[in-house]
Amino acid sequence: TADEINEEAGSTIAVAMHLDVTRAADWRAAVERCQQEFGGLDVLVNNAGILNVKGIEETTEEEWDSIVNINQKGVWLGMKAAVPAMRRRGGGSIINISSVYGIIGSPACAAYHGTKGAVRLLTKAAAIQYAPDKIRVNSVHPGPILTPMLEVMTPDDVQAAINMTPMKRGAQPEEVGWCVVFLASDEASFVTGAELVVDGGWTAA
């Protein structure tokens, strides 16, 4: 949490605020707060997402709209709000969290597949559009990560997903986090429009 980060740092280097990713006004407020607190915006990580383990016919219209609004529209709104602030700073880095399910299919998770695939290509479009502004845009595609999101799946389904990885385990969130840190950093200064797959070899099999 922000309090834990600030306590460890011994100063205020983190600020927490409520953000509904489906609301443009919330995004504008978050970017404005960032600029007020830290003097500008250099990095955006679009990480909000929800999962529904249903196929095309089983998914209701309300469920579809909810997943699209958070997983897909939220990413677009975040970039739309962040880009002007980054442009004023002379550049920046945007990291959009997609999924291996944005690359491959499965018999279920129809809305999740659709939104994560959209994030994958929206990232590439943004990378091309904003390269002249020195704004890099990349996507990260995790496999099974041991987070509360997996709670919507049965234990058997979680184990089946883990078994799809040649490494035969789920990842800790930090293993994805360090990949995000790399893409956010100057060490990734020539990386844009890329897909960083963090899946224990799932999509290589």
Helix %, strand %, coil % for the chain, to 5? 55, 10, 35
- C-alpha distances out from residue 173 to 15, 96, 149, 166, 199, Å: 21, 15, 11, 18, 12
Show Cβ contacts of residue 82 under 8 Å, excluding neighbours closer than 6 positions. 27, 31, 41, 44, 92, 94
Kindly name the residue from 112, 137, 162, 164 that is annotated as catalytic.
112
Clarify whether 112 is annotated catalytic.
yes
- Amino acid letter at 188? A
Active site residues per annotation:
112
